[in-house]
Amino acid sequence: MSDTSDIKLVDAPAGLEGSGFFATAADKVLGLARANSLWPLPFATSCCGIEFMATAASHYDIARFGAERMSFSPRQADLLMVMGTISKKMGPVLRQVYLQMAEPRWVLSMGACASSGGIFDTYSVLQGIDEIIPVDVYIPGCPPRPEAVLDGFMQIQELVKTETLRRRNEPRYQKLLASYGIQ
């Protein structure tokens, strides 16, 4: 399984050997578990949301990645998937949802509208959700095909797998949140 390719087995400490025992780094194991059991919160406001429904349905089947358990409650989700045009009126709602999610949390921006405002270069549309919340992965396209959505999702899985347990307490991450006015 390619998921485990970056896990390096080391010699077991004395007394912890034989079948049933193996030694590895805790953050690798937690990363592997988290990456394959993400709970997405689909924040779908327009057409990209429909494309996501196709991604979740039987043909593309997001359950293959362990992510079929959609959460419409921010406190029970760890991946915010923003898909669709976000108006400036909707911006504070999106930010509130992000703030209500517990750490660790990741953000996926799906499609041109969420990532940059898309074709809606108007006074009423937010020109990219990264104006109000940090984004981990952007998926280009209008709309992106389900293959692109799955590719973006796998990029998130890579991030989750390789993230250290210390990252959320590091000054760099705190600085990123502070740049968005988040404590």
> Contact positions toward ligand SF4, by CB under 6 A?
46-48, 84-85, 111-113, 118, 142-143
The type of residue at 166 is R
Determine the angle formed by the axes of helices 26-35 and 146-162, rounding to 10 degrees.
160
The CA distance from 1 to 73, in Å, is 32
Q: How far is the CB of 140 from ligand SF4 (least distance, A)?
A: 9
Q: How far is the CB of 36 from ligand SF4 (least distance, A)?
A: 27
Q: How far is the CB of 23 from ligand SF4 (least distance, A)?
A: 46
The residue among 148 and 177 lying less far from ligand SF4, judged by its C-beta, is: 148
Name the strand (E) or helix (H) holding 115. Answer: helix 111-116
The residue among 28 and 145 lying less far from ligand SF4, judged by its C-beta, is: 145
Which residues face 106 on adjacent strands? 79
The CA distance from 182 to 95, in Å, is 10
The DSSP 8-state label assigned to residue 57 in this structure reads: S
Nearest Cα neighbor of 163 from 14, 19, 6, 47 is: 6
The residue among 32 and 56 lying less far from ligand SF4, judged by its C-beta, is: 56
The residue among 25 and 47 lying less far from ligand SF4, judged by its C-beta, is: 47
Residue with tokens 């390719």: 5
Q: How far is the CB of 87 from ligand SF4 (least distance, A)?
A: 12
